Amino acid sequence: MDPGEYETCTYCNRSIFPDVAECPYCGHYTDGKGRFGLGAEGERRIPRVFLIAGWLVVLALALPLLITVWNWLKSR
């Protein structure tokens, strides 16, 4: 089987003919929106709480450095 002649169903990840509108295995339309498709990244989005926690860590690391630089500038 030449993989170049087939597409992969984005719902069941099986090889299908590229010009079929519906996957013969799972019956989904071949619109590229399944969990094996490119749109799957949207479901694996980083939750906002992790982004906030990440920023807090960055601030906690940067703040002592900023205070040190500020004190050094003031002492000159």
Binding map of Zn ion across residues 26-65, x = CB under 5 A, - = no contact: x---------------------------------------
| 10 part of the interface to Zn ion, by CB under 5 A | no
Q: Which is nearer to Zn ion, 43 or 47 (CB)?
A: 43
Distance of CA 4 to the CA centre of its chain: 26
The owner of tokens 């295995």 is: 25
Rg of the chain over Cα atoms, rounded to whole angstroms, equals: 25
CB of 13 closer than 8 Å to CB of 26: no
Interacting residue ranges for Zn ion, rule: CB under 5 A: 9, 11-12, 23, 25-26
